[in-house]
């Protein structure tokens, strides 16, 4: 639905958005379910509009044409589990590799330089960086990742791997710098607070009583 709306604009209020929602639900059911419900069953009873099956089928054809019949969007997350299994066949560090690679990919999404790399290269680079943080898996290099699946190129994986390392290293440096600034500020505040303490009052000298004249 989001991919279609990125290509075509529809009025937010009205029957068009409801028709698109029902159409996308029907297409998703055909992709995932073995027993697809009828088009009338997909429509909630309390909705404002009830569409005929032929209307939904026409909208399905429009959506498929707009998406070039590619309903599955391939992302780096499609390859993470498979590449993590290639790196760690015994599964000792599988959870860590998947979780860490996911964090790196989510951080890389905001960097425009990663737009030149395909999803499989980004996934391979993220898994390699995550494996580099594990002691028993530090001997991996981008050359080995080329054999993980068809379509991976050594140049693309190496370039994306370097960008991923710079991204991770930059975040670590920023975190360390922020921690250092916080530490220095805390020390300054503690020094200021200690220097601002009021000194103890000076001791008063006892005056001797005046002599008594007899």
| Whole-angstrom distance, CA of residue 154 vs CA of residue 148 | 11
Of the pLDDT bands very low, low, confident and very high (cuts 50, 70, 90), residue 10 is confident
211 vs 90, higher pLDDT: 90
| Whole-angstrom distance, CA of residue 147 vs CA of residue 152 | 8
Of the pLDDT bands very low, low, confident and very high (cuts 50, 70, 90), residue 15 is confident
What residue ranges do the domains of the chain occupy? 2-66, 77-168
Of the pLDDT bands very low, low, confident and very high (cuts 50, 70, 90), residue 105 is very high
**Would residue 183 be called left, alpha or beta, if left means φ above 0 and alpha means ψ between -120 and 50 degrees?**
alpha
Helix (H), strand (E) counts: the chain: 8, 0
For the question of whether the overall pTM of this predicted structure is more than 0.75, the answer is no
Please give the pLDDT value at position 92. Answer: 85
User: Average pLDDT of 134-151?
Assistant: 79
pLDDT tens per residue across span 76-98:
998 999 999 988 888 888 899 99
| Whole-angstrom distance, CA of residue 125 vs CA of residue 164 | 7
Phi, psi of 207 (to 5 degrees): -85, 140
Residue of 52, 32, 10, 34 lying closest to 42 (CA atoms): 52
């Amino acid at each position: 639905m989001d991919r279609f709306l990125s290509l075509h604009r529809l009025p937010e209020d009205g029957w068009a958005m409801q028709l698109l929602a029902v159409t996308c639900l029907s297409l998703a059911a055909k992709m995932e379910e073995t027993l697809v419900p009828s088009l009338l069953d997909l429509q909630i009873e309390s909705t404002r509009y009830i569409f005929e099956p032929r209307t939904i089928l026409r909208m399905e054809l429009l959506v498929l044409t707009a998406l070039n019949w590619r309903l599955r969007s391939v992302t780096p997350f499609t390859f993470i589990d498979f590449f993590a299994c290639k790196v760690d066949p015994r599964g000792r560090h599988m959870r860590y590799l998947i979780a860490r690679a996911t964090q790196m990919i989510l951080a890389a999404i905001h960097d425009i330089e990663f737009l030149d790399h395909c999803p499989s290269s980004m996934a391979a680079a993220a898994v390699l960086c995550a494996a580099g943080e594990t002691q028993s898996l530090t001997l991996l290099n981008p050359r080995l990742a080329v054999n993980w699946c068809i379509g991976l190129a050594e140049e693309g994986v190496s370039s994306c791997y370097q960008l991923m390392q710079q991204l991770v290293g930059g975040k670590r440096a920023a975190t360390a710098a922020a921690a250092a600034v916080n530490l220095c500020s805390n020390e300054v505040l503690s020094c200021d607070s200690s220097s601002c303490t009021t000194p103890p009052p000076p001791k008063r000298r006892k005056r001797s009583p005046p002599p008594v004249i007899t």
